[in-house]
Amino acid sequence: MRIFLFLFVIGFNSCMGYFYRVSPNEKIDYFTFSGNKRTYLVHYPKKWDGLPIPMLVALHGRFGTGVTMSKQTKLNDLSDQKGFIVLYPDGYKRSWADGRGSSPADEDGINDVVFIESIVKRMIAEGSVNPKEVYLVGHSNGGFMAQRMAIEKPDLWKGVMSVAAQISVSQLKSKLNFKTKPVSVAIMAGTEDPLVPFSGGYVKDGKEVISVSDSIQRWKEWNVCQDTVKHKSKQYDENGFKIVIDFYRYEDCFEDTKVELIQMNGLGHSWPGETPMLPFINQGRTTKVVDGSAMVWEFMESLK
């Protein structure tokens, strides 16, 4: 039964990619990296004058693709409204080498840190991207990859956000090998995530993560943040269920960086506002009334 579900999900996501029609303001590109053809989708805002603008790199979750990430998040609509480029890389065998050691990319020794860095530098060299306004967001496996990029390549990013992912134990240990340079980081996490426990512990693939609050504390320490926090809450009603989103932002940090926790009380693993791409996996409570993509870009815009 599990094999059937796995093949169904792969087939479903493959069909979504196969039938994707590239618009005039988009392109699908590739280059050979470590002997593998690596592809990515780029969405340019519709009203763009060709001058360098901000870029958001969006990393899909396990079993996803760049195309499914674009459909899942609807970041293209936000890109057209706000005027930034969205770049959706495709992971190796639908996975990212996030350093935990359990994904196909990790198992095959893929250096996704350098791969993602190469795409960013490629886009900057193209002349379309402002190198001082490059942002990163990732969901699930892509969210762990975003944490790895923030730890290992902080110079690349103006801001980084992980959705449904925090710092893994393996990432925390590897941090000792890298110099600390402040970078603005946010984590968006559901308190009832059944796949990546909010309070820390073992995720479904057997790898250990620290808690969301501990992850935020680590970034506060690395960014030399004061304890002064700006807290606000937003409330939503969805079919009688009350959703409370708590925002905890630390703004008094070294080099004007920020650290933020977006705590989605009662919600699960899915990207807020999405149609889940893995319908047969229990991801906890989902929501249609909370716009996760808008919250991602609100954080990035606050860094300007």
H-only helix segments in 183-234: 212-222
Encoded tokens for 298: 């609100």
Cα torsion 96, 141, 220, 78 to 10°: value is: 100
Please state, in angstroms and rounded to a whole number, the distance separating the CA atoms of residues 167 and 174.
11
Chunked mean pLDDT (size 10), the chain, 304 residues: 41 51 94 95 96 98 95 96 98 96 95 98 97 98 98 97 98 93 97 97 89 98 97 96 97 97 97 79 92 98 94
The number of beta carbons lying within 10 Å of the beta carbon of residue 119 is: 20
What does residue 32 show for φ and ψ, rounded to 5 degrees? -85, 125
The number of beta carbons lying within 10 Å of the beta carbon of residue 83 is: 15
Residue 180: what pLDDT? 86
Residue 275: what pLDDT? 74
Q: How many domains is the chain partitioned into structurally? A: 1
The number of beta carbons lying within 10 Å of the beta carbon of residue 65 is: 23
126 by DSSP, 3-state: which?
A: helix
Residues 272/295, Cβ–Cβ less than 8 Å: yes
Sign of CA dihedral 66, 67, 72, 73: positive
Q: Amino acid identity of 157? A: W
Residues 220/259, Cβ–Cβ less than 8 Å: yes
Q: Checking DSSP bridges between strand 53-59 and strand 36-43, what pairing results, if any?
A: unpaired
Please state, in angstroms and rounded to a whole number, the distance separating the CA atoms of residues 218 and 226.
12
236: CATH? 3.40.50.1820
Please state, in angstroms and rounded to a whole number, the distance separating the CA atoms of residues 256 and 178.
21
Q: Amino acid identity of 256? A: D
Q: How far is CA 289 from CA 80, 238, 286, in A?
A: 21, 7, 9
The whole domain housing 61 covers 2-301
Please state, in angstroms and rounded to a whole number, the distance separating the CA atoms of residues 278 and 289.
20
Q: Give per-residue pLDDT as tens, 95-105.
A: 999 999 999 99
Residues 108/33, Cβ–Cβ less than 8 Å: no
Q: Checking DSSP bridges between strand 129-139 and strand 159-163, what pairing results, if any?
A: parallel
Residue 65: what pLDDT? 96
Residue 1: what pLDDT? 38
E strand residue ranges, 34-183: 36-43, 53-59, 85-89, 129-139, 159-163
Q: How far is CA 101 from CA 105, 108, 121, 217, 287, in A?
A: 8, 9, 26, 24, 31
